[in-house]
Amino acid sequence: MNIEAIIINDVDWLVASNEINQSDTDKLLSNLNNLLFSNDSDSKRFGVLLKTKIVSKLFNEVIELENKISTFGNSRSKKEEKRKLTIKNDILSNLIIIIFQTYSDYLNDSKEYRIFENNHIRKIGQISQNFLNGNISTENPFPEYYDKKNADKIITEIKEYYKKTFLNPENTLFVKTKLTQLSESLKSKISDVENEIIIWNRRGEEYKRELLLFSMEKSEEKDRLFDLYDCEMSGIMNLFHYKQDLMRLYNHIVEEYPFINSKPITISDITVFGDSNIHAVKRIYLEFSDFIDKTVSENDFVQAFMDLPITNKIKLVNGSLSDYAYLIKELKPFFIRRIGENAGIYNQWWSDRFLFSGKEKNSKSISNMISGLHTGRAASKKAATNNIVNFLKSSYNHPT
């Protein structure tokens, strides 16, 4: 069987099969490339093959899939079939895009290519609008949930579309207009999300204050408030991730397209350790168990180590001032530079977020505590602090 016959068989199989994966399309693309650069390749014959035996079949299958998927609606009985067909539709749609981008010289006069160009302009506009509206996932509500993987995919698709479109001089005005509009919308949305984070944070604090009024006994109302509080804290973290992604796309546009004439927005770190690894902070919560009051929840602790204002301080307990000073001194190398490199700012960070055996300590008092390690009482809980430090060393390549 020659390579043309293999390619046609591969396309027929992709169309007929209900379950396909990326490796199947990679194989087809590899065979197409081999055929194009083979010694007996004929460019006219190759163009005819692309149009009549490959693109037309794949294009018609995508249209059929989209029509079929649209009939399912939110039917639970069709959920699994819809999932499989959606995966196939995404894979074939991406395959068509790659073929059009790679072999546009052979296809730009085809009906399918013209439809693709027109539809893709509308599609990228809808994708951009969905991203701005926070519609990252069709399955779960935002910001209670945030599909980071899908957000990355959306950003990549937007970037690649404008990169390819801008290569054609005829599209210069179009791209300038669209990217100027998109950059302004992104900047406005970033501001909106910052305000939304503040609102969610305040609401979470209200739930927390109500929870503190309850006794240790369980009750339905207490459970309800706890669920609401937990939801607010998850929402805040997801809003932070969303804000970072908005800023990432905005900065890419500003840096890649000078005609936007704006400066990049500084992307702040979500945690004081210089990244967005919330799971690592949750682990640190467990390592901190020797130092924090039992009433301190995981969400309270995580919030304290995020770049967020807080209203309730974490109670450090079970230690002397020397123990707390040793803890503060040993953790300093792991903090982001804008906090860790300035002793006054670093000490104030601890002052703003923690109580020391029930007492407030200002920045100067904390400085005196650390200085006292050399002359006063030695820390007795070094082992507990060293466990935290060892975990930080294992989680981060080097102190920031």
Residue closest to 22 by CA, chosen among 104, 113, 90: 90
What does the radius of gyration of the chain's CA atoms come to, in whole angstroms? 28
What Å distances lie between residue 227 and 232, 236, 298, CA to CA? 9, 14, 13
Extract the tokens encoding 25.
């399309």
State how far the Cα of 323 lies from the Cα of 314, in Å rounded to an integer. 16
What is the torsional sign of CA 72, 75, 79, 81? negative
Residue closest to 243 by CA, chosen among 194, 173, 311, 181: 194
Q: Which residues, given as ranges, of the chain have pLDDT below 70?
A: 1, 39-41, 74, 108, 112-122, 138, 168, 170-171, 215-217, 266-270, 275-279, 307-311, 376, 395-400
Q: Which helix (H) or strand (E) holds 356?
A: strand 354-356
pTM of this prediction? 0.50
In angstroms, the first-to-last Cα distance of the chain is: 59
State how far the Cα of 351 lies from the Cα of 368, in Å rounded to an integer. 13
Question: In the chain, where are the structural domains located?
Answer: 3-109, 136-267, 278-395
State how far the Cα of 110 lies from the Cα of 44, in Å rounded to an integer. 14
What Å distances lie between residue 168 and 173, 250, 360, CA to CA? 11, 22, 63
Residue closest to 296 by CA, chosen among 269, 322, 318, 274: 318
What is the torsional sign of CA 178, 183, 185, 186? positive
State how far the Cα of 229 lies from the Cα of 125, in Å rounded to an integer. 36
DSSP string, 178-215: HHHHHHHHHHHHHHHHHHHHHHHHHHHHHHHHHHHTS-
Burial category of 321 from C-beta neighbours within 10 Å (exposed 0-12, middle 13-18, buried 19 and up):
buried
Q: Give the contacts of 370 (CB within 8 A, at least 6 positions apart).
A: 325, 328, 329, 347
Residue closest to 384 by CA, chosen among 273, 284, 312: 284
Q: Give residue 39's pLDDT.
A: 65
Q: Give residue 304's pLDDT.
A: 84
Q: Give residue 116's pLDDT.
A: 61
Q: Give residue 212's pLDDT.
A: 72
357: left (phi over 0), alpha (psi -120 to 50) or beta: left
Strand partners, 55: none
Q: Reduce the secondary structure of 325-344 to three states and give it as a string.
A: HHHHHHHHHHCCHHHHCCHH
